[in-house]
Amino acid sequence: MTATQAADPPLLRADADGIATLTLNRPGQFNALSTELLDALQAELAKLGADETVRVVVVAGAGKAFCAGHDLKQMRANHDKAYMQALFKQCGRVMQTLAELPQPVIARVHGVATAAGCQLVASCDLAVAADVAKFAVSGINVGLFCSTPAVALARNIGRKQALEMLLTGDFIDALEAQRRGLVNRVVPSDMLDAEVRRLADSIRAKSLTAIAMGKQLFYRQLEMGLAGAYQLAGETMACNMMTDDAVAGIDGFMNKKKG
């Protein structure tokens, strides 16, 4: 490794037209989630949460892979239970922060997403994949059940499908991932950026306030009983109706119908 490579930041951020793209930047390690990369992700997500100029966040990967999961080399070099507990707590915090961000987060999956990399895809709000992308929670192949990826995976796809992936470690292709609900859209590789932008543009044209309120409600109600979910949803709708965006939007719609 050259001195320049060693100094490369593990995470890159680029902003354009209200869209912030975070690129996992460890191509030589297939963007494995080292503690340094997780730290960088957490710090950047915290900044994004307070940045009202950003309407949509895109998570991408540099090099051939989207993300190959945790950095196994780093984990073996720190074979201590306290280290492992801190690592998985840190990773879980990053995944939860993705859901807590007011902005929708789109995974741009151009290549392989395995183990915690598949967890990252599942933790993003939306995902667009190239048709060559592949997905697996493959820890079981080295004697490690992907317990933390299971949390996100089981909240995206059916139980039996999730367990099959977790128990076998087998890969599924992008179209199968779409069929199971892990990704939203699948396109040829040369159309991936255009499709991500198309989805981001559709979202960023909407009310920032309504999107933020709706995203928060969506994840909170998933963990509630039916009565509690409707109570929370009703309160959210009532608050949303009081916002300037909703008033202007509804008045504009009604006036357009009259015209």
What 3-state class would DSSP assign to 137?
coil
- The CATH number covering residue 183 comes to 3.90.226.10
Residue type, 235: E
Mean pLDDT score, 33-61: 97
Mean pLDDT score, 193-218: 95
Residues 182 and 228 in one domain: no
Report percent pLDDT > 90 for the chain. Answer: 83
pLDDT in tens, 101-123: 999 999 999 999 999 999 999 99
Residues 36 and 107 in one domain: yes
Could you give the CA distance from residue 48 to residue 40 in angstroms, rounded to a whole number?
12
What is the strand order of the sheet 56-61 is part of?
11-16, 19-24, 56-61, 105-109, 126-130, 185-187
Nearest 5°: CA angle at 189, between 183 and 192?
Answer: 60
Residues 35 and 158 in one domain: yes
Ramachandran region of residue 110, left (φ > 0), alpha (ψ -120 to 50) or beta?
Answer: alpha
Could you give the CA distance from residue 107 to residue 124 in angstroms, rounded to a whole number?
6
pLDDT at 139 over 80: yes
Q: Helix crossing, 116-123 with 81-100: angle to 10°?
A: 20
* Domain that includes residue 180, residue range: 3-204
pLDDT at 239 over 90: no
Q: What is the pTM of this model?
A: 0.93
Residues 121 and 229 in one domain: no
- The CATH number covering residue 236 comes to 1.10.12.10
